[in-house]
Structure 1
Amino acid sequence: MSGVQSVGRALDLLETLAELGGEAGISELAARTALPYGTIHRLLRTLLARGYVRQESDRRYALGGALVRLGGVAQGMVGEWAQPYLTRLVELSGETANLAVLEGDFIVYVAQVPSPRRLRMFAEVGRRVLPHSTAVGKVLLAARPAEEVVALIDRTGTPRRTTNTIIGRAAMLAALDRVRTEGYALDLGEEELGVHCLAVPVHDGDRVVAAMSVSGPADRIDALDRAELARGMRKIADEFGTELAPRANSDRAVDPA
């Protein structure tokens, strides 16, 4: 196995662990990656030694603490890159703009530009929430394969955050179908009563890697033309994704042999 191929396969294992909620057994990893058991064992030994994975008492493997430092630095960089685009979202909507990513089973807010209005919404940067009750979460789940979404919902459930929260697997899957059809997602007081949000995806090439949203008091968000706002937001999100894509594509353009 060449050095470059080994790196690619090690990253495949880490990404698969993340998709499986941060923990998996060898057989699950083999089924998802199509890598031989021997290759997986060799790569995991290296990742264990460097702290990027850990082995649990039941011999399953989980993401390790060494990723926390890398993830924190990477999130900070992406948050900095996003600032001018989030500022444009604020100018477009008049409301607070957010950038969020999916980490394991949780949504993490990685950047924000607040509204200039006196009454405005805040989602603390670094805050982690389950995806089912947020617009950014629905956007990110809608981009994932159905079996991954079902597995996540089965792990986390759909706990009721407010009286408006969408509850249950069937209702959540129907909501994600609407997101795919409309190209944007809504949170109508599902995470916090009186707060409404609209979110759109950020693509880097063929992948949805983040979500951008605007959030504010329900009456102000509801007064906006949703379809028109979503079109403007998608344009800004696509421009941000275009900035991200060359960085990602340059990493992928390595000879895999």
Structure 2
Amino acid sequence: MQRLALLFLLLLTPAIGLAAHPASHPARYRQQESRAHAATTIALEEIAALLLLTGTAPLAARGARRALVRRTRRRRYRQALDVATSELTAQRRTLQIRKLQLVAVDAYGTADPARWHRERAYFCRTRLLPRLAAAGLADQWPLIGREIQRRLELAASAPFVADVAQSGPASDPRVFDPLMQPGDYERHCAMLLRMSGWDTRVTGASGDQGTDVLARRGSRTLVVQCKLYRRPVGNGAVQEVAAARLHQRADLAAVVSNAPFTAAARQLARSTGVHLLHHEQLRDFAPA
């Protein structure tokens, strides 16, 4: 700043000198005017250089740095969205099944999403956050979390793509409908099993000691009990299909439903080796 003040004084000095000499000596006046112009030009160049060093250059550098930071942030945000969305797409079918299983509908027709919300948080914690961390993008979760939650809910709520157009009556065994008849639901489950390579037989209205669908693939036999419910399936169905497995001398047993299963049913299924499935899982059911 002191140097700038001195340069401004240099700018003023030639003008003061010119004012001290009257116009009665024109030759001397022109000579001093030329020297004053040269001194003024040098002083202005010095001021411009000082301003560039002390102000303009750092401001330009800071502006460039800010622009680079903004571009980097946008790029990392988009990368994090892509990583999380890729995992959502890969898990879309499982998310759809879990939501169908976990959103319970009570006797009044009111849906309770509490268990599904816990499942959604678990999915984000165990699938999305590790994927982001592996990509070095874990710090982006607070920024993309709300958008990813919205995309997750859309993916889980999307309807399954039906194998045929749903143009027939509600009770069509080719297409699931919560209002379909129980017998058509059994035929629908048998159709889904055939997609995964099982030979199936629906036992009929009377059933066969707890077996609604009898399926074979290779040397293995599977007994299935089908439950088209609006409430969680209890452990009674697990007991019945476990008994049916003994009666049929089958290798495998499963309870299939559109509804979730109670805690007691899940506990009994673990101890008896019974599979608890949503009907959409039958499309690729291939137990080890």
More strand by share: 1
Q: Output the TM-score relative to the length of structure 1.
A: 0.29
